[in-house]
Structure 1
């Protein structure tokens, strides 16, 4: 070797053997020491030990931990014998580096080669299924079936069951996750968090809160992620009192220092309309976490404090906080809510020509289209949407349609509604929007034709729903609902409010 290893890699007297090399490879892996991958490989070759599966696997594992994926693949392909450990190491390494499709391809090769996967390899494959955009449900269900077969012969580790639960939750199959959760013998904090997060992700915030209560009743103590999920659910439902209670519990439990909880608390207070409380949490954190800053910028923007949002955004690079695509989306949204077209255009151009390169996505164009539409520049918004370098987005056409309703431009509204039907024909609200646009033009023939089509396709608009939090709980009201026991008193109170407004 032309290069001497450091003391923590070199055994006494530099007399290499299989045992000392195993220790050296473990030490290098623990430190992710990339400069020593090649020298250690050279030692293996020189001593004729590269055919030893354990040593070759350890070297490939070291390369994976150092991010040398191609090198690890080459080492793996050169192995004369690949056991379950070497396969699992490669599958796990690719999954943890975000190469999810490669990870799934490797486990398929593993099975095809006659090597049965173990719990660790299947957990990594499940992670890959859950992490792929829109999920890889078919692969995940295939792995779940293999795990069920394993259960017939041996006990399955809780980590594997949690992996299946997480996979179903992230693939949008919360009903499958619920069934699995109901029969799990061991429900640790990871399982409870996966289930709560899955419910919240699928729009079932009330169910997530109910699970939290059940978890506490079962004697399972919450952690930082549990409290963050609870705060997020309170934000989705605008439950301020419950949100304040969990904030107090977080402080008592010493969890307030966790960044994930601070982010959720800021977002919760903002969604509950308490932007000043959100500001207090943010200021108390004194953090340079980019997510926390973006959450606060979004809060300012939603409540009309656009110049506070802009000021925060402009301060980010001065404090070494990166302005990524999400940060630009937050400041563009703030400009949109306040109708600051000039400022919005300036930030949009900075994404192209600013000091840091930012990946521009369709949602950035959608936000700019929304800014133009809210400000009444409908024709300009139409040209902007048509000249987008992406396929026209649903968000952009939806913004145009809503603004056409507000500004009474039925012609453009019909165009936007028709385009939305082409892009998203399964969205029932698009049919309703097109019908309403024609009705506003008193075009009863087209309106009747559309509504007949809606009836034949069983298209129905979901009734509007409002939640009001009072001291004794949360009251839910559905549009055209006549079942509320206090309906008469509610209507009388509403009539008196109308009289006060118009007097």
Structure 2
């Protein structure tokens, strides 16, 4: 830029050429200066350079960076000549802005217009498919086929192949991703991270940990995202010892100041039951990151330290840290776990009427329903659930059903269980819950009829599974599994604990017979 300032401020606009304007457009895009979009566009028109594919593409890119996709498409549509760079800029720009469907629509228009996509075009479209998830699997497969047809896979274009891998993991096809990963000639850190994250998302945390070890053994240096995944996997499996080892690797690698890694560490220690260790990591961070604060609030809430959770939530407001919908969900959950109905209602109302009101989500209503249920306000909970502005969630009806079993309200429990079966008929636990409600009332005929319906509908009860970490490894237990070498000792110990629990409660549960049968 000249000493006179930006182009339209210059006393002699004609002094500027295409190169100068291209620099101005790039600088404005880097600054995301929305107020410069129209003035720069005016300069291009005045100098008669709007037909330049390079400058028009730069202007469209600027508009996208500033969150003006409609303006960007308008500039693009007015271009007399659209080359592969122009199309690619729009496709990737829309994908990065979260406009995934528009990104895929632009790719289709590009192909129809006769312009052949390149690796960057397809990478942008793959990013869009990954953002959409399972609903874009068909489109992702089509793009993958085009990648193979254009010989862009393998070592030719690692970026494209990584995009295909990430697309399959985010579309829920971890088996496809595993096969692709197995034949990849180039496995860089991006590929390893995509595969590990995909395993973690699909509930295969143990495999994610195995991949992390294989990556390190293969000589690929882990980055912050890799460490965060390994720590998250330890948290999902509640493996404290391995989690502490992962924490040590984080420190040795110099990633202990990474906000994402710190969030994972706090969450891991909380899931392993070490909420004080989670607090130490949090306090050591000295961070104003809202995600980190929310993670700590959630940890306190899960372990009954509701007053610590509430204090942290209020402290966020005092420090000027924005409390988003996730933070509100964390504090509502803390109130629910501790039965603080009054406090929960106050925070729920604050979401509507506070200075920084947030958008209500079904999860917030579900959490309030759970709070009412846990506190024994069953009729109020039913009224709240049936009058939600959203469709009643499975979680809300499940909370009502569990509370009905605890408080002995079989009639309301039958209603909740029947509603759950209607909402999710393929979930065996809903059928079993409905059967148990009738069994608790000794309605054996209806119990038998429900079990028969499960057989007719081919609904199978998956065996329950739990595990515990001891000094010599992780021990897994399946219901009705007779292969455990110490089964007799374990059974007697669990029976002893159960009897002690009954004595402490001084209350014989109505479904004791069912529990005893399952225990044996």
Q: Is the pair's TM-score, using the shorter chain for normalization, greater than 0.5?
A: yes
Higher mean alpha-carbon deviation, 131-140 vs 270-279, is at: 131-140
Whether the 8 Å CA contact 2:7–2:40 is kept in 1: the answer is: no
1:247 match: 247
* Rounded Cα–Cα distance in structure 2 between residues aligned with 1:47 and 1:498: 84
Match of 2:55 in 1: 55
Give the corresponding residue for 2:342.
Answer: 342
Matched with 2:460 is: 460
Q: In structure 2, do the counterparts of structure 1 residues 149 and 337 end up closer, same or farther at CA, with 3 Å as the change threshold?
A: same
- Identify the residue that residue 323 of structure 1 maps to in structure 2: 323
1:124 maps to 124
Give the equivalent residue in structure 1 for 2:82. 82
Q: Distance in 1 between matches of 2:34 and 2:362?
A: 38
Corresponding residue for residue 351 of structure 2: 351
Provide the aligned length of Structure 1 versus Structure 2: 501
Aligned to 1:429: 429
Query: Aligned-pair distance for 1:49?
Result: 2.4
What residue is the counterpart of 1:200 in the other structure?
A: 200
Q: Normalising to structure 2: TM-score of the pair?
A: 0.91
**Closer/same/farther in 2, CA of residues 272 and 184 from structure 1, 3 Å limit:** same
Distance 1:383 1:160 in 2: 52
Q: Which residue of 2 aligns with 1:145?
A: 145
Structure 1 residue 498, shift from structure 2 partner: 7.3
**SS of equivalent to 2:98:** coil
Contact 1:9 1:24 in 2 (8 A): no
Q: 1:129, 1:167 within 8 Å by CA — same for their partners in 2? A: yes
Counting only pairs closer than 5 Å after superposition, residues 274-423 of structure 1 correspond to structure 2 as 274-423=274-423
Query: 1:215 and 1:152, CA in 2 relative to 1: closer, same or farther beyond 3 A?
Result: closer
CA–CA distance in structure 1, aligned partners of residues 9 and 119 of structure 2 = 31
TM-score normalised by length of structure 1: 0.94
Give me the whole-angstrom Cα distance separating, in 2, the residues matched to 1:106 and 1:9.
Answer: 35
Distance 1:398 1:496 in 2: 29
Unmatched runs of 5 consecutive residues or more in structure 2:
505-520
Maintained 8 Å contact 1:57/1:86: yes
Distance 1:197 1:230 in 2: 9
In the alignment, the residues of structure 1 paired with residue 480 and residue 206 of structure 2 have an alpha-carbon distance, to the nearest angstrom, of 23
Q: After the TM superposition, which residues 210-229 of structure 1 pair with which residues of structure 2 at under 5 Å, given as runs?
A: 210-229=210-229
For the 8 Å contact 2:465–2:478, the answer to whether it is kept is: yes
d(CA) in 2 for partners of 1:324 and 1:272?
26
Residues 495 and 409 (structure 1), Cα distance of their counterparts in 2 relative to 1, 3 Å cut: closer
In structure 2, what is the Cα distance between the partners aligned to 1:371 and 1:493? 33
1:102 aligned residue = 102
- Cα distance, 1:439–1:66 mapped onto 2, change above 3 Å: same
Give the 3-state SS of the residue equivalent to 1:347 in structure 2: helix
**What residue in structure 1 maps to residue 18 of structure 2?**
18
CA shift in 2, pair 1:405/1:436, >3 Å: same
Range with greater deviation from structure 2 (446-455 or 273-282): 446-455
Take 1:337 and 1:154, find their aligned partners in 2: how far apart are those partners?
Answer: 51
SS of residue matched to 1:477: strand
Cα distance in 2, alignment partners of residues 345 and 28 from structure 1? 46
Query: Which residue in 1 is equivalent to 2:443?
Result: 443
d(CA) in 2 for partners of 1:267 and 1:68?
37
Q: 1:120 to 1:11 in 2, by over 3 A?
A: farther
Q: Kindly state the Cα deviation for residue 14 of structure 1 after the two structures are TM-superposed.
A: 6.2
Report the more deviating stretch, 213-222 or 58-67. Answer: 58-67
1:469 counterpart SS class? strand
Q: What is the CA–CA distance in structure 1 between the aligned matches of 2:500 and 2:374, rounded to whole Å?
A: 30
Q: How far apart, in 2, do the equivalents of 1:21 and 1:105 lie?
A: 30
What's the secondary structure of 1:81's corresponding residue? coil
Deviation at 1:38, TM superposition (A): 3.2
Is the Cα–Cα contact under 8 Å of residues 135 and 170 in structure 1 kept in the other structure?
no
Match of 1:184? Answer: 184
Distance 1:499 1:420 in 2: 31
What runs of 5+ residues in structure 1 fail to find an aligned partner? none
Please, which moves more after superposition, 471-480 or 60-69? 60-69
**CA 10–29 in structure 1, closer or farther in 2 if over 3 Å, else same:** farther
Tell me by how many angstroms 1:490 deviates.
3.5
Residues 245, 353 of structure 1: CA spacing in aligned structure 2 closer, same or farther, 3 A cutoff? same
CA contact (8 A) 1:135 1:171 kept: yes
The corresponding residue for 2:171 is 171
On the 8 A contact 2:119/2:152 being kept in 1, the answer is no
Structure 2 Cα separation of the partners of residues 282 and 101 of structure 1: 38
Counterparts of 1:31 and 1:492, CA distance in 2: 67
Q: What CA distance in whole angstroms lies between the structure 1 residues aligned with 2:37 and 2:496?
A: 79
Deviations 1:60-110 (CA, angstroms, capped at 9, x unpaired):
222222333222211111111111111111111111112111111111111
Structure 1 residues 495 and 13, CA gap change in structure 2 (3 angstroms): closer
Deviates further, 455-464 or 250-259: 455-464
Judging changes above 3 Å, is the alpha-carbon distance between structure 1 residues 106 and 495 closer, same or farther for their aligned structure 2 residues? closer
Q: Is the 1:8–1:24 Cα contact (8 Å) retained in structure 2?
A: no
Structure 1 residues 118 and 489: alpha-carbon distance in aligned structure 2, compared to 1, 3 A threshold: same
User: Using a 3 Å threshold, how does the CA distance of structure 1 residues 485 and 290 change in structure 2: closer, same or farther?
Assistant: same
Secondary structure of 2:150 counterpart = helix
Cα distance, 1:495 vs structure 2:
6.3
Cα distance between partner residues in 2 of 1:428 and 1:343: 35
Q: How does 1:490-501 map to 2 (within 5 A)?
A: 490-491=490-491
Matched, 1:159 2:159: yes
What is the match of residue 518 of structure 2?
none
